[in-house]
A and B are shown apart, each in its own frame.
Chain A
Amino acid sequence: MAVRSERLPVVDTAALLDLYERMVLVRLFETEAERQYKAARIGGYCHLCSGQEAATIGSVHALQDDDLLVTGYRCHGFALARGVPPAAVMSELFGRADGCAHGRGGSMHLLDVQRGFYGGWGIVAGQLPIATGLALALVRQERRQAVLCELGDGAVNMGAWHESLNLAALWSLPVVFMVVNNGYGMGTAVDRASAVPELHRRADAYGMPGERVDGDDLEAVIESTGRLLAAAREERRPAVLELLTYRYRGHSVADAGIAYRSKDEIAARMEHDPLVRTRERLREAGIEEATFDEIDARTEETLAAAVAAAQESPEPDVAELAAGMYAAGSGEQFARMLPGSPFGERDLVFAGGLGT
Chain B
Amino acid sequence: MFKIVVCVKAVPDPKEACNIKIDPATKTLMRCDVPMVLNPLDKYALEAALQFKAEFDAHISVLSMGPPEAGNIVKECLALGADRGFLLSDRAFAGADAFATAYTLAKGIEKNGPYDVVFCGMASSDGSTEWVGPEIATFLKIPVVTRIKEIVEYNGQWWTVKAELENGYRLVRVQIPAVFTVTRELNTPRRLSFSGIIKARKKEITRWGIQELGVPEESVGLKGSPSMVSTIASMDSRRKVEILEGKREEKAEQLVQRLVNAGVI
Do A and B interact with each other, yes or no?
no
Residues of A within 8 A of B (CB): none
Residues of B within 8 A of A (CB): none
